[in-house]
Chains A and B, each alone.
Chain A
Amino acid sequence: MTSTGNILPIKPFVKLPPDAKPYIAGLVCNECKEVLLGGLRLACPKCGGRKGFAETRLAETGSLYNFTMVERSFPGVPTPFISVIVDLDGGGVLKGNLRNVQRAQVKFGMPVKVVFDDAGRTDKNNNSYVSYFFEPIDTESRT
């Protein structure tokens, strides 16, 4: 008998509220105002401040800071894919895959959006995962 498993977030800062859209949770340091990815934190890694954090939702748009075309990865991982680092509008930095784009169109600084989708893999307990992905904002650059 196969168990159906649960639907889980791929990272703790990916939030899956019931009956609402997923989002990226952020934390803003109450002292230095640095924007961090959500998660368990006792103090701020930037300033060491212990006055806590304000919870926030990070923006779902940003610009491409960095990219590399990955042609070979660990055994069993499908390639190629585009590994990117994105500056989110309003603060926060995320690493992920850029998809639905032609290689020649990938440029530093290009505007991208965050989309949420099934990660495409299940774990040994048959749980499935929701991940975030990046896509170009300009619809004309789509394949």
Chain B
Amino acid sequence: MSNVYVVGIDMIKFGRFPERTVENLGAEAALMALDDCGLSIRDMQALYCGNQGQAGALVGQRVLKEIGQTGIQVINVANACATGATAFRDAWISIKAGLYDIVLAVGVEQMGKGMLGGGPSDGISPEGILGSYSMPAVFAHMGMEHARKYGTTFEQFAKVSVKNHHHSTLNPKAMYQKETPLDEVMNSEMMAYPNTKLMCSVNVDGSAAAVLCSEKKAKELGLLQRAVCVRGSALQSDPYTTYNLAMMDFNAVTRLAAKNAYEMAGVGPEDINLIELHDCFATAELVHYENLGICQDGEAGRLIDSGATALGGKIPVNVSGGLLSKGHPLGATGIANIYEITTHLRGEAGKRQVNGARLGLTHVVGAGSACAVHILEKA
């Protein structure tokens, strides 16, 4: 099976674009990724398009109507917040399978403002009767589980938000470029303890796209110079745990995906130079430090305290600003994370460059649950 390379990749600056359409946003990222490697839609053999909000409405075909209807296979995928990474992985699989040599993956979402979910479909909404199913509360429960086991504090969770907002000041493509000191994070509106408003990801519109290519084709096209190799790819659903009866699981599913991705890549967490992980809420980032194996169980609070996961630290996490400040357009997030890692491996990340980065890891989870982990290496 051929090695698979990312040869072109880009994302739009995340923001709010109510005057545009989802296909228009997707098309922009697609063209940017094609421009990144100097290719055209006519060179692409298939399109894998990730979008959650309009999953039934053939977004990929609509993207092609904006950039060129070449008649290629289009696969539309939805997998909650793991949607973009799922489209990327499907693209990767198609090259691994030997079916195609060069394909395009696009992730796009138009979100609007406000909290996800909440509308009762039938009967009455159980929200506030059977506890809370709002995402800030679901991920508050995840943090409280960690607090129960290890004594993790409100302040430690809040530090994640301080760090990622700081990182985003160095990323012009992030929704926000604004410092949020610890007292501001801790004193912002409480949503569900310990998640304050500044510890919740930003709902934004966005898109990102990648051109994936076989080794043979990349050599033929002379594109190996800036290419990044996909060393590991794993996508899992949540294995049963007893707490599934009452809580969505993001832990067992992440551990399983991480294990499989590390094994495929033949590396361990100690080999990874930087990580973009799913900080949909500040609580989640700390728990995922342990799920991804960058520290021992129970050590995540101390890891954030040590500064190791900040830019300049031993294992920088979410140097892009993360979902907390870069923004979280569901379908785009998985490919935007891969864009961030690729940019560092290429040495093109400017002021936020992680020096000497050779191996990076991306992680996303979708509620319900899905988890995708990719390990990328400088070619």
- A residues with a Cβ closer than 8 A to B are 8, 10-11, 34, 36-37, 45-46, 65-75, 77-79, 81, 83-86, 92-97, 108, 119-123, 127, 129, 131-133
Contact = CB atoms under 8 A, between A and B. Distances in A.
B189 interface: yes
Given A71-B191, A74-B115, A66 B148 contact: yes
B129 A83 contact: no
B125 A95 contact: no
Contacts of A93: 242-243, 245-247
A9 to B, nearest CB: 10
A85 B124 contact: no
Contacts of B120: 123
B129 A97 contact: yes
Nearest to B127: A77
17 contacts: A45-B240, A65-B145, A66-B145, A66-B247, A70-B132, A70-B134, A70-B140, A71-B190, A74-B125, A79-B128, A85-B131, A92-B245, A95-B246, A97-B129, A119-B124, A120-B129, A123-B124
Contacts of B129: 10, 96-97, 119-121, 131, 133
B141 A73 contact: no
A34 B242 contact: yes
Contacts of B190: 69, 71-72
- Per DSSP, chain A at the interface is strand
By size class, the interface of chain B is 35 or more
Interface of B: 114-115, 117-120, 122-132, 134, 136-137, 140-141, 144-145, 148, 189-194, 240, 242-247
Contacts of B114: 75
A122 B120 CA distance: 12
Most chain A beta carbons < 10 A, residue from B131, B134, B191, B242? B131
A124 to B, nearest CB: 9
Contacts of A129: 123-124
B279 to A, nearest CB: 18
